[in-house]
Amino acid sequence: MIEWWQYLPERIDPVAFTAGPFFVRWYALCFILGFLVMTGFLLFRSGRSGSAFDRETVWDAATVTFLGVLLGGRLGYALFYDQALFTSPRSLVFPVDAGTGSFIGIHGMSF
């Protein structure tokens, strides 16, 4: 007998909510929540006496980490799934098709 929970991933919508023409997916919310929790924890720790780092260092580290994850996810996607993106470096950054001008999105973080 097959249980209902075995088919649960097929029933889950990957889009959490829409904001106009943009779709916000569950994995994006997980990344954002993870960064907020990490930053909040480090800010809490930096406020304690004897901490090795201050609040400015925490914000700098969080910003660099966030940008590094976004850039690394995009480059990893291009390297493993779509090497043609390297022929047009503009397509690595901009979510618009150069030929048609239509919005195609930026992929890479879901993998």
> What's the pTM?
0.68
Largest alpha-carbon pair distance within the chain? 58
- Angle at the Cα of 32 from the Cα atoms of 66 and 92, rounded to 5 degrees: 50
pLDDT tens digits, 6-33: 887 788 888 999 988 888 888 889 889 9
> How far are the Cα atoms of 2, 64, 68, 89, 103 from residue 94, in angstroms, in the given order?
45, 20, 17, 9, 9
67-106 pLDDT tens trace:
998 888 888 888 888 888 888 777 778 878 777 888 777 7
What's the 3-state SS for 58-101?
HHHHHHHHHHHHHHHHHHHHHHHCCHHHHHCHHHHHCCECCCCC
Separation between Cα atoms, residue 34 and residue 13, nearest integer Å:
21
- Measured torsion, CA atoms of residues 21, 24, 25, 30, in degrees rounded to the nearest 10: 170
**Could you tell me the pLDDT band of residue 111, with boundaries at 50, 70 and 90?**
very low
pLDDT band at 109 (very low <50, low <70, confident <90, very high): low
pLDDT at 49 over 60: yes
